[in-house]
Structure 1
Amino acid sequence: MNYANFPLDKRKPLPSSDAVTAEDFIDVERLLSMAARQAKVVAVCAAIGLFLGVLYLQTTPPTYMATSRVLIDEGLNKVVDEVSAASVSMQTDSAILSQIEILHSARLAAVVVDKQKLDQNDAFLYPP
């Protein structure tokens, strides 16, 4: 038994499958009435979503992200040197690794903090 052809809640019954023509396939009035019936549900869901979005923006603290890049190129300074390419690359690699370790050094960071008095600077400790 095909329940789609029975009128429920004052809806128009679907036409039988053999009587469907190209003009009657999409009933615009029926689509508009369906949209009108669901307009309140869509509006309530949109209002709830908007409220939750505003609540999230008000309660979430701002997050800042900073990135940096360091370019270390010892080859530019040693262009005129008459040293073999292998030794230059080995010296460059070791110099780069040394400079990376300096950047990661906690002791160096502590010296910078003490010298610049960053532990007493409110703008540094509590950024806006």
Structure 2
Amino acid sequence: MTKDQWQKFISEGTHTAKLSTVRADGSPHIAPVWFLLDGDDIVFNTGADTVKGRNMARDGRVSLCVDDDRPPFSFVTLQGRAELSDRLEEVRDWATRIAARYMGEDLAEQYGARNGVPGELLVRVRIEKVIALADVAD
């Protein structure tokens, strides 16, 4: 896929990203996340005390995979470094935007209020590498 194609692919619909972080012992931890593409960055929220939140605070290296599990199957993997922010205004703003994608505009404020509270983080991943393949079963 070209850059325009993979950016469109990961921005359409409600695909979650599977986020991989590095545990203290070096093993991987994987969890699904709601996200948005912001320019060339991936943006999502998580709790500071979650496994992924603690992992990223210690080691910012992450990988994400967004896939379409229906034939002919397509996927995008992204690698980069996570930057964390606990600025509440920023956390809530992005939580609301992200919720609009996944829950719809009518529930965005409700989910933004729920996910934009103290203890939550805004994560911005600066993408360093992309692997994007479309229609792999064709």
Which TM-score bucket, shorter chain as reference? under 0.3
Q: TM-score scaled to structure 2, two decimals? A: 0.17
- Bigger Rg over Cα: 1
The TM-score with structure 1 as length reference comes to: 0.18
Q: Which structure would you say has the larger RCO, counting Cα contacts within 8 Å and 6 or more residues apart? A: 2
